[in-house]
Amino acid sequence: MNLSALGRRLASESGTRTLMDDLGAVATVGSEIMNLGGGNPSRIPAAERVFEARMRALLEREGAFGQAVGSYDGPAGDREFARALAGLLRREQGWDVSERNIALTNGSQSAFLALFNLFAGPDAKGRMRRVLLPLSPEYIGYADLGLSPGLFVSRRSTITELGDGLFKYGVDFRALDDVEDIGAVCVSRPTNPTGNMVTDGEVARLGAFARDRGVPLIVDNAYGLPFPGIVFEDAVLAWEEGTILCMSLSKLGLPGLRVGIVVASEATISALSAVNAVFCLAPGSLGPAFATGLVESGEVIALGREVIRPHYEQRAARALGILRAGLDGYGVRFHRPEGAFFLWLWAPGLAVSSAELYRRLKARGVIVVSGQHFFPGLEDDDWPHKHECIRISYADEWERIERGLGIVVEEVRRARDGA
Ligand SMILES: Cc1ncc(COP(=O)(O)O)c(C=O)c1O
């Protein structure tokens, strides 16, 4: 598909477009709307004070600001930042990495566009290789990234009931065995939209599965360890040859800087740098220049541990408490919140679909995300589960979240009662 055809397809059929329009409207209209929808992180004053101090330090350091805004970096991005990060990953994680294993992108979203189309799509003989998403539901932002249609393939997750109205998705490894023509495997961890922390055992098995097929395992670590560290469970972050780890500064509270980070083999990093050169000449320099000290000193990890993670963990508990209290006896379940900043509400047996629930909530000024968008690669599967869930973000200003949750409770009750 050429780019103008792709543009027309995105403009006309994208399942996520109305949603993105709604979220865009929230960004412009602002405070009237209860935004339980987007992926924006919280504005956390203690974190913003750290960022402001770092920005002042950049301005005060002789020549640093001029260098950051006055020159293009190379296509792999700021090398001083990459060296600082490699040092941090060696110290904290014990990984054998250098700056040659690191490339920067303008946000991690653009890394996925590059990586998916590097490793999947039609090969030289025209045979289609696909990105396997072993868990479903999975991140909405992957859905339209294929430059050719049909880039994704997925399988239903397993569902384990944990009692107390909680459940957890798992990888159905037996169902993956018959998937052919895989170019890459990708999983977000913690998972957006569910807050699921794919277990260490599942990651190891997915790594072996990918190695057996000679393809990379891409781990989307936008919310993960070692930073921003929005993980509420004990977990290990593994990296080995063949793993492509995507990270970001966004969920730390810095989405405006657009700093995405890829840690991978040197061969993958040079391919990605070549794509960067075509897409944008070079990734932006101001974000990495600002953040180098934060990474070099290790302050970025302390910030995650002491400020960011406790903030979201407390919110997860409060938000879940409100929904559970309001929906007790209504047959509603929640994915156990294990990380990121979303609650995934599963309401089997409602009189209306999640898309209708979304419309009703929107009419009352509450934006959530209807679940059916989160099943890229499962378009041909008529799994009823796809229409029984909504994603609720608890990152926005708390007073609005609390009001919004109250309305979610009312509308789910109404839909359950058949109204
Ligand atoms: C799972 C996941 N991956 C990647 C991204 C992209 O983030 P960014 O481009 O800001 O790094 C997001 C943003 O919401 C996300 O939720």
Nearest atom in ligand 1 to the alpha carbon of residue 220 is: 3
Predicted confidence (pLDDT) per residue in 353-394, tens digit: 999 999 999 999 999 999 999 999 999 999 999 999 999 999
Q: Ligand 1, atom 16: nearest CA belongs to which residue?
A: 192
Rounded to whole angstroms, the Cα distance separating 406 from 410 reads 6
Q: Ligand 1, atom 6: nearest CA belongs to which residue?
A: 109
What pLDDT is stored for residue 10 in this prediction?
47
Domain spans, the chain: 3-47+303-410, 71-297
- CB-ligand 1 contact for 374 (6 Å cutoff): no
Q: With bands split at pLDDT 50, 70 and 90, how would you rate the model's confidence at 124?
A: confident
Concatenate the DSSP letters of all residues of 53-122 into one string: HHHHHHHHSTTHHHHHHHSPPPTT--HHHHHHHHHHHHHHH-----GGGEEEEESHHHHHHHHHHHHSEE
- CB-ligand 1 contact for 191 (6 Å cutoff): no
CA distances from 255 to 43, 240, 250, 367 (A): 11, 28, 4, 20
What pLDDT is stored for residue 1 in this prediction?
47
- CB-ligand 1 contact for 39 (6 Å cutoff): yes
What is the residue-averaged pLDDT of the chain?
93
**What pTM was estimated for this model as a whole?**
0.94
Residue 334, pLDDT > 80, answer yes
* DSSP-based three-state secondary structure for 224: coil
CA dihedral sign, ordered 256, 258, 260, 266: negative
Mean pLDDT, range 90-107, rounded to an integer? 96
- CB-ligand 1 contact for 196 (6 Å cutoff): no
Q: Which two tokens stand for residue 166?
A: 């909680």
Q: List residues bridging with 159 in a β-sheet.
A: 169
Same fold? 3-47+303-410, 71-297: no
Residue 240, pLDDT > 90, answer no
Q: Which architecture does CATH list for 3-47+303-410?
A: Alpha-Beta Complex (3.90)
- CB-ligand 1 contact for 192 (6 Å cutoff): yes
Which residue out of 109, 247, 369 has the highest number of ligand 1 atoms within 8 Å of its CB and is therefore the one to mutate? Answer: 109
Rounded to whole angstroms, the Cα distance separating 347 from 327 reads 10
- CB-ligand 1 contact for 255 (6 Å cutoff): yes
Instruction: Say how many Å lie between the CA of residue 109 and the centre of ligand 1.
Output: 6
118 CB-contact burial (10 Å; exposed 0-12 / middle 13-18 / buried 19+):
middle
Q: Ligand 1, atom 12: nearest CA belongs to which residue?
A: 222
What pLDDT is stored for residue 38 in this prediction?
86
Contact status, residue 214 vs residue 182, Cβ threshold 8 Å = no
What pLDDT is stored for residue 30 in this prediction?
54
Q: Ligand 1, atom 2: nearest CA belongs to which residue?
A: 222
What pLDDT is stored for residue 241 in this prediction?
82
Rounded to whole angstroms, the Cα distance separating 372 from 388 reads 8
- CB-ligand 1 contact for 106 (6 Å cutoff): no
Residue 11, pLDDT > 60, answer no
Closest of 42, 369, 357 to residue 194, by C-alpha: 369
Mean pLDDT, range 141-162, rounded to an integer? 95
Nearest atom in ligand 1 to the alpha carbon of residue 108 is: 11
- CB-ligand 1 contact for 138 (6 Å cutoff): no
Contact status, residue 369 vs residue 358, Cβ threshold 8 Å = yes
150 CB-contact burial (10 Å; exposed 0-12 / middle 13-18 / buried 19+):
exposed
Predicted confidence (pLDDT) per residue in 191-222, tens digit: 999 999 999 999 999 999 999 999 999 999 99
- CB-ligand 1 contact for 222 (6 Å cutoff): yes
Instruction: Say how many Å lie between the CA of residue 186 and the centre of ligand 1.
Output: 14
Class of CATH domain 71-297: alpha beta
Predicted confidence (pLDDT) per residue in 111-121, tens digit: 999 999 999 99
Please indicate whether residue 148 or residue 291 has the higher confidence score (pLDDT).
Answer: 291
Comparing 17-26, 126-135, 186-195, 258-267, the range with the smallest average pLDDT is: 17-26
- CB-ligand 1 contact for 41 (6 Å cutoff): no
Q: Ligand 1, atom 13: nearest CA belongs to which residue?
A: 39
Which residue out of 16, 20, 23, 108 has the highest number of ligand 1 atoms within 8 Å of its CB and is therefore the one to mutate? Answer: 108
Instruction: Say how many Å lie between the CA of residue 108 and the centre of ligand 1.
Output: 6
Please indicate whether residue 28 or residue 57 has the higher confidence score (pLDDT).
Answer: 57
- CB-ligand 1 contact for 411 (6 Å cutoff): no
What pLDDT is stored for residue 417 in this prediction?
84
Amino acid at 180: E
What pLDDT is stored for residue 3 in this prediction?
45
What pLDDT is stored for residue 6 in this prediction?
46
CA distances from 298 to 88, 272, 303 (A): 7, 27, 9
277-286 b/e with 16+ CB inside 10 Å = b? eeeeebbbbb
Residue 32, pLDDT > 90, answer no
